[in-house]
Amino acid sequence: MEVPVGPGPRQAGGGLGATRSTSSGRAARTAEMPWARFSAWLECVCVVTFDLELGQALELVYPSDFRLTDKEKSSICYLAFPDSHSGCLGDTQFSFRMRQCGGQRSLWQVDDRSYNNKAPLALQREPAHYLGYVYFRQVKDSSVKRGYFQKSLVLVSRLPFVRLFQSLLSLIAPEYFEKLAPCLEAVCNEIDQWPAPVPGQTLNLPIMGVVIQVRIPSRVDKLESSPPKQCDQEVGNENLLPAPVVLTSVHELDLFRCFRPVLAHVQTLWELVLLGEPLVVLAPSPDVSSELVLALTSCLQPLKFCCDFRPYFTIHDSEFKELTTRTQAPPNVVLGVTNPFFIKTLQHWPHVLRIGEPKMSGDLPKQVKLKKPSRLKTLDTKPGLYTSYTAHLHRDKALLKRLLKGVQKKRPWDVQSALLRRHLLELTQSFIIPLEHYMASLMPLQKNITPWKSPPQICPFRQDDFLRSLEHAGPQLTCILKGDWLGLYRRFFKSPHFDGWYRQRHKEMAQKLEALHLEAICEANIEAWMKDKSEVEVVDLVLKLREKLVRAQGHQLPVKEVTLQRAQLYIDTVIGSLPKDLQAVLCPP
């Protein structure tokens, strides 16, 4: 069956709110391309319906120019509907993550570098996966053969702004289910007027007569247990108008609500996630599974979660065989599922978290118990954390008491979430700070960086040296928790998160080293150096300086503007000292 598509692309108009600044001619051209502003936020919008003959079917893709492969269309169709076991009546919101198949999809694909360089690592655009944000409606309808109206509206993006997109769906979807395609076209046209998401800026996003005000997190933000307060104006954004709907965060979930059934094991789960262990979350519905998986992957901040994760996964997924095979060790993935069939399929996985039906009362639900994996045999397995893993750190009983007291005193959930988020943030920071200190000691001293020699190398990371340093500079300086910290670090060294953290820090240090070397060259007396040098050596210097200048501008190295200007002046000075024929070669007209 052919998939009907929305109207074709149109020219993007001028944006509302902050004016979109462009740093190059290419960026300026991009701003004028069809759907350029829309694609800064979303890849496309899909509508999935239930067809009696075909099952789940893709009814609409908007904009029509966006190309999805057949495999991606199939995945979206299955992931946009809850499993039949979930029995979700009414409206349900959840999210999924699926692998991209193929390369660039549209002429208006945005350049990720500008955003990613300024965004926190955990909020960078997904390079190889799509994130789907779903609003599913299932209500009785006698006019339909099956007796039920079943339809999903899906926002497909590469930005992990779960809170923003869920809020957006709660505005758009009910209206769309009433008015259908014309409403969706109007909404997409409005999104195509939005300013781009620039880290550090507060933006006003008009949609369907409402203005949503959000602040896009920046890498330089001070880490807090709760996001910075919104303000109507910021420096450089004097024209922002007060917004009636203020989102305190574009991405943070209600951690306390997500972790309520597993509060007693939050620390064990934090360790499992830190070590990149394979973990299955079996929940009664996709909203519970997706929120818990996203909560687990967010509890490592400021560390970037470097493993795979699927907030909602079905047996129809194209990667089902790959992720459930018994011929090799389970992959490093946090998998959210709702079909009890997975208990049998994933019995060989080392950690399975089974969650029961959520209770809507204000009381704390019954906490799941730690159980041996051998007891995970039947489809009606009781809720519990099935694992043979023994936590390295002792449980923080004081935190549990504070949260329990908050429940008894009916403390607001956002305050409870802030307590939990602060605990996890401080725990992760206590673990990471010794690694950061040791890594900083591997950086060559600035006095050893000389202008006319290649910069010295960063010293190698020696695990034994680091472990010895913990005796006087370990996590005990900032964390009261006792336990086997050494054992936890040893296991961490084998995890994808250590590899991801080390690569990122090494890259940043190499860029800093390159910037310091460029500064050393610019502070040297270049004319004195040139006096006894041959033309070949001088030309070689010009080429190397140009290469460094291009890298400094392209990689956005931590170099001051005055240094870049001085480097360009040096290049001009050196070229001016050469014969005319060489000048013509180095500076063609």
- The per-residue pLDDT for 29 is 35
Which pLDDT band holds residue 363 (cuts at 50, 70, 90)? Answer: low
Lowest mean pLDDT among 19-33, 48-62, 294-308, 497-511: 19-33
Cα–Cα distance measured from residue 435 to residue 467, given in angstroms and rounded to the nearest whole number: 10
- The per-residue pLDDT for 165 is 97
Cα–Cα distance measured from residue 293 to residue 287, given in angstroms and rounded to the nearest whole number: 10
CB atoms within 10 A of CB 65: 17
Cα–Cα distance measured from residue 50 to residue 141, given in angstroms and rounded to the nearest whole number: 13
- The per-residue pLDDT for 454 is 82
State in Å, rounded, how far the first CA of the chain is from the last one: 58
- The per-residue pLDDT for 451 is 82
Which pLDDT band holds residue 491 (cuts at 50, 70, 90)? Answer: very high
Contacts of 501 (CB under 8 A, 6+ apart): 303, 304, 306, 432, 435
Does residue 156 have a pLDDT over 60? yes
Residue 368 φ/ψ region, left for φ over 0, alpha for ψ in the -120 to 50 degree band, beta for the rest? beta
Higher pLDDT, 86 or 233: 86
Which pLDDT band holds residue 205 (cuts at 50, 70, 90)? Answer: very high
- The per-residue pLDDT for 356 is 86
- The per-residue pLDDT for 228 is 46
Query: Which amino acid belongs to residue 157?
Result: S
- The per-residue pLDDT for 12 is 34
Q: HEC string of 549-565?
A: HHHHHHCCCCCCHHHHH
Cα–Cα distance measured from residue 95 to residue 310, given in angstroms and rounded to the nearest whole number: 9
Which residue from 251, 220, 27 is spatially nearest to 120, judged by alpha carbons?
220
Does residue 232 have a pLDDT over 70? no
Residue 543 φ/ψ region, left for φ over 0, alpha for ψ in the -120 to 50 degree band, beta for the rest? alpha
Lowest mean pLDDT among 132-136, 143-147, 306-310, 549-553: 143-147
CA 261 to each of CA 66, 271, 399, 456: distance values in angstroms, whole numbers, following the listed order: 41, 18, 15, 52
Q: Let me know if 138 is exposed, middle or buried by CB neighbors in 10 A (0-12, 13-18, 19+).
A: buried
Helix (H), strand (E) at residue 183: helix 181-191
Does residue 280 have a pLDDT over 50? yes
Cα–Cα distance measured from residue 384 to residue 282, given in angstroms and rounded to the nearest whole number: 10
Residue 365 φ/ψ region, left for φ over 0, alpha for ψ in the -120 to 50 degree band, beta for the rest? beta
The predicted model gives 121-135 an average pLDDT of 94
Helix (H), strand (E) at residue 353: strand 351-354
The predicted model gives 287-309 an average pLDDT of 95
Q: Which tens digit of pLDDT belongs to each residue from 396-433?
A: 888 989 998 988 888 898 999 999 999 999 999 999 99
CB atoms within 10 A of CB 497: 20
Domain ranges of the chain: 25-195, 255-408, 431-499, 525-586
- The per-residue pLDDT for 285 is 92
Find tokens 């598509």 and name the residue. 5
Query: Which amino acid belongs to residue 277?
Result: E
In terms of CATH, what superfamily is 25-195? Longin module (3.30.450.200)
Which residue from 351, 400, 401, 394 is spatially nearest to 376, judged by alpha carbons?
351
Contacts of 274 (CB under 8 A, 6+ apart): 300, 303, 428, 431, 488, 492, 495, 497
DSSP state for residue 21 in the 8-state scheme: -
Which pLDDT band holds residue 233 (cuts at 50, 70, 90)? Answer: very low
The SS3 assignment for 91 reads strand
Counting residues of the chain whose pLDDT is more than 90, the rounded percentage is 46
pTM of the model: 0.85
- The per-residue pLDDT for 334 is 97
Does residue 532 have a pLDDT over 80? no
Distance from chain centroid for Cα 33: 26
The predicted model gives 175-199 an average pLDDT of 90
Q: Which tens digit of pLDDT belongs to each residue from 433-450?
A: 999 999 999 999 888 888
Does residue 27 have a pLDDT over 50? no
Mean pLDDT across the chain: 83
- The per-residue pLDDT for 21 is 34
- 25-195 and 255-408 have identical folds: no
Give the CATH fold of the 255-408 domain.
Rossmann fold (3.40.50)
The predicted model gives 201-212 an average pLDDT of 92
CB atoms within 10 A of CB 462: 11
- Which residues face 55 on adjacent strands? 51
The predicted model gives 563-586 an average pLDDT of 80
- The per-residue pLDDT for 77 is 94
Contacts of 37 (CB under 8 A, 6+ apart): 12, 15, 20, 31, 191, 192, 193, 194, 195, 196
- The per-residue pLDDT for 527 is 77
Cα–Cα distance measured from residue 217 to residue 251, given in angstroms and rounded to the nearest whole number: 9
Does residue 296 have a pLDDT over 90? yes
Q: Which tens digit of pLDDT belongs to each residue from 301-331?
A: 889 999 999 999 998 888 888 888 888 889 9
Lowest mean pLDDT among 203-217, 277-291, 456-470, 518-532: 518-532
Q: Which tens digit of pLDDT belongs to each residue from 330-345?
A: 999 999 999 888 888 8
| Contact in structure between 191 and 281 (CB atoms under 8 Å) | no
Does residue 217 have a pLDDT over 80? yes
DSSP state for residue 27 in the 8-state scheme: H
Which residue from 270, 295, 477 is spatially nearest to 394, judged by alpha carbons?
270
* Positions of E strands within 31-169: 44-51, 55-62, 90-99, 129-140, 148-157
